Structure formats: C-alpha cells, structure tokens
C-alpha cells in the first residue's frame, strides 16, 4: 500500500515537473518572477528578456493592458539601468 | 609667454581631436518609485523598405512594489505609415475602485478623425494595479462593458446585441473603415518581438470585439531609433516629449496622461 502511494506521488511529481518545465519554455529561459535587469548582462539581453516575458504573457492570452504595463516597466528598467 | 599659451592651446586642441579616453555618459537619475514618461521611437521595415515609424509612450511607475499601489497607468502608441496614414492608440487603466478596474482602449484614425473607444471592467480585490494583475492571471472572461464611436454608443443596457457577443457585428456594419484599419495595423506588425508591443492595444481591441484573428507580418523588422525616460517634476509637470514633431503630426489626437477629447472639440 505504502509502496503504491510512493509510486503515485513520484508519478505526480514527474507530471508536475514536466508541466513546469514546459511552462518555462514559454519564457525562453528567463525567470519571469525575477527582474530582467538581474538576469541580463547588456542592454540587448535585458530588452530581450522583457520581450520574451511580454510575448509569453500575450501568447497565453493574458490581459494585454497588464502585459503592456509589465513590458513597459521591464523595458524602463533596461533603458535606465543598461542602455545608455 | 604668448608661445606658451599657443602651445598649450594646440595641445588641448590635439587632445580633443584625437579623442582621449571617453568618459562614460552619466545615466539619467530616475526615481523609479515615481511616475516616469518613457518613450521609444521605432522604425518598422519590410526588407529594406521603411513601412512606418512608431512612437510608444507610457506613463507608469517602474518600481515593482510602488507600481503595485499605482492607481492609474497610461499607454499611447502613435503609428505613422510612410503612405501618410496616422493612427493613435491608447490604453488607460484606472485602479482606484477596490472592486473593479476600468481599462479604456481607444483607436483614432487621425487622418479622418474617426475613432472607437472600448471600456472593459475587470474584477479586482482592492485598489491598486497589483490587485488587478493578480486577478487577471485567472480571469479569462470578456470584460467589455461599453463601446463607442463618433456615431454609435453601445452598452449592455442599450442593446440586446451586446451580451450575445454581436457587438463586433454592429461595429463592422456601422464603422467598416475602422474595423479595416484595426485589422491593417494588426497585419502590419509582427506578432512577436519588440514590435509586438505595437500590436498589444490593437490585439486587445480585436479580442474585446471578437474580431477574427489575422496573420501578422512575418517579413517585418523593427528597430529602436531613440528612447527617453524621465520623471515628472515635483509639480507633476510631464517631461518633454521624445519627438515633438512626430507628436505634432497627430494634432489634437496626441494627448498625454489622459485620452484625447473625443467630442465637443
């Protein structure tokens, strides 16, 4: 019985892990919960991070106004922190 | 003495001409907890041919936690095609009400002076942008509560067509040119990449109006030409526009911080 529950939990963990991994593909390797500026090393990569997160959000059918605000804020950080 | 001064002057001139070690340009001081005016000027190209220039402008708070408490934000996208077509888009969020947020999206044909204004209401859990963003993650319902043109005003109370999702049919019949223009814009820009930002407001309007999807431009590229970010001054006076001439070409349809006056002017 215990073994069965253990196997079931392991299967669930794998499925959840796969779903997470799939979700991350949408973000192109960027972590959407971290600021783009902390993950970037240049103006271009910072803007690329913002674009990726924006695209991902739009592709998933989220509210465009929120997507636009998030993109603009992210881009604003890049422009002020990275892009001269 | 004169030859000493001449010599020093020549040395200084030579140093300037040869260009010594470049001193890094100081970054503008931005208070990210206060609203900024952020603008970018883009060029849209198809191959080597310029198709349009786009000026995107936002008034918002950059700092994450300060933005959570923001009661409003403002986005404007001005598109000027090389054929002379000028279109202005606005998206304005109002987060003051603790129960619902209002988002107004507007498209103006700046050549003809025709426009369509959509108002969407979204459920929220408190005042401020952060609450709306959190709710938005789960809520996929069509929140359109009103749409309006120069000759038409439609609300759930005023028309049976509204709740049954026939609003777009009404608009297509009443304002076919505006619908065609909206679709033209969606077709002119790529779906992904920086250019997709210019599609954000048109795509949102199309979604609210339940217009059919349209293939984006796949051979188009966008290049950022210039940008500027600045706080308002202490009295709330906005920073200077990035490109006053570009803005001026839109006349009264290029407003800042609020939608342009649609009637009575």
What's the rounded mean pLDDT across residues B133-160? 76
pLDDT digits (tens, 9 = 90+) for B150-165: 888 877 766 665 655 6
User: Where is pLDDT greater, at A10 or B32?
Assistant: B32
Q: What is the pLDDT along chain A (84 residues), one digit of tens a residue?
A: 555 555 554 444 444 334 343 444 577 788 877 888 888 888 888 988 888 887 777 666 667 888 889 889 999 999 888 887
User: Where is pLDDT greater, at B60 or B221?
Assistant: B60
pLDDT digits (tens, 9 = 90+) for B86-104: 999 999 999 999 999 999 9
Comparing alpha-carbon positions, the chain A residue that sits nearest to B204 is A64
pLDDT-derived band at B17, boundaries 50, 70, 90: very low
Tell me chain B's radius of gyration from C-alpha atoms.
23
| In chain B, % of residues over pLDDT 70 | 79
DSSP codes of every residue in B194-254? TTHHHHHHHHHHHHHTTPPP-PPPSSEEEEEEEEEEEE--TT-PPPPPS-HHHHHTTGGG-
Supply the mean pLDDT for chain B: 83
Q: Which residues have C-beta within 8 Å of that of residue B113, sequence separation ≥ 6?
A: B150, B253
pLDDT digits (tens, 9 = 90+) for B176-230: 999 999 999 988 887 665 656 678 889 889 888 888 888 878 788 888 899 999 9
Residues B223, B206: Cα–Cα separation, whole Å: 25
Instruction: With a cut of 70, say whether residue B61 has pLDDT above it.
Output: yes
**A30 touching B, CB under 8 A?**
no
CB pairs under 8 A between A and B: 90
A80/B62 Cβ within 8 A: yes
Instruction: With a cut of 80, say whether residue B43 has pLDDT above it.
Output: yes
Q: Show the tokens assigned to A2.
A: 């215990």
Q: Which residues have C-beta within 8 Å of that of residue B252, sequence separation ≥ 6?
A: B260, B261, B265
**B242 touching A, CB under 8 A?**
no
The residues spanned by each domain of chain A are 2-81
Q: Which residues have C-beta within 8 Å of that of residue B83, sequence separation ≥ 6?
A: none
Longest Cα–Cα distance of chain B, Å, equals: 94
ipTM of the prediction: 0.81
Contact residues, chain A, for B207 at CB < 8 Å: 64
The residues spanned by each domain of chain B are 34-253
DSSP codes of every residue in B144-174? EEEEEESS-EE-TTT-TTTTTT-HHHHHHHH
């Amino acid at each position: 019985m215990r073994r069965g529950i253990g196997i079931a939990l392991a299967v669930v963990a794998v499925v959840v892990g796969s779903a997470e991994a799939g979700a991350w593909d949408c973000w192109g390797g960027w972590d959407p919960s971290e600021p783009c500026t902390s993950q970037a090393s240049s103006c271009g990569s910072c803007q690329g991070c913002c674009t990726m997160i924006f695209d991902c959000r739009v592709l998933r059918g989220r509210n465009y106004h929120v997507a636009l605000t998030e993109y603009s804020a992210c881009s604003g950080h890049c422009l002020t922190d990275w892009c001269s | 003495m004169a030859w000493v001064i001449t010599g020093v002057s020549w040395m200084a001139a030579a140093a300037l001409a040869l260009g010594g070690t470049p001193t890094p340009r100081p970054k503008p001081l931005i208070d990210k907890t206060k609203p900024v005016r952020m603008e970018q000027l883009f060029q849209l190209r198809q191959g080597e041919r310029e198709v349009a220039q786009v000026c995107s402008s936002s008034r918002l708070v950059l700092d994450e936690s300060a933005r959570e408490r923001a009661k409003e934000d403002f986005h404007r996208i001005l598109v000027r095609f090389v054929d002379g077509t000028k279109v202005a888009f606005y998206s304005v969020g109002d987060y003051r009400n603790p129960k619902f947020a209002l988002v107004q999206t507007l498209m103006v044909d700046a050549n003809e002076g025709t426009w369509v204004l959509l108002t969407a209401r979204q459920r929220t859990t408190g005042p401020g942008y952060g609450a709306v963003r959190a709710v938005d993650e789960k809520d996929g319902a069509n929140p359109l509560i009103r749409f309006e043109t120069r000759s038409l005003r439609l609300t759930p109370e005023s028309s049976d067509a509204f709740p049954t999702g026939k609003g777009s049919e009404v608009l297509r019949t009443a304002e076919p040119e505006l619908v065609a223009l909206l679709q033209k814009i969606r077709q002119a820009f790529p779906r992904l990449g920086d250019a997709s930002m210019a599609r954000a407001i048109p795509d949102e309007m199309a979604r609210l109006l339940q217009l059919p999807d349209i293939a984006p431009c796949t051979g188009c590229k966008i290049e950022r030409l210039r940008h500027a970010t600045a706080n308002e001054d202490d009295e709330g006076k906005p920073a200077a526009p990035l490109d006053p001439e570009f803005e001026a070409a839109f006349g009264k349809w290029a407003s800042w911080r609020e939608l342009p006056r649609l009637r009575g002017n």
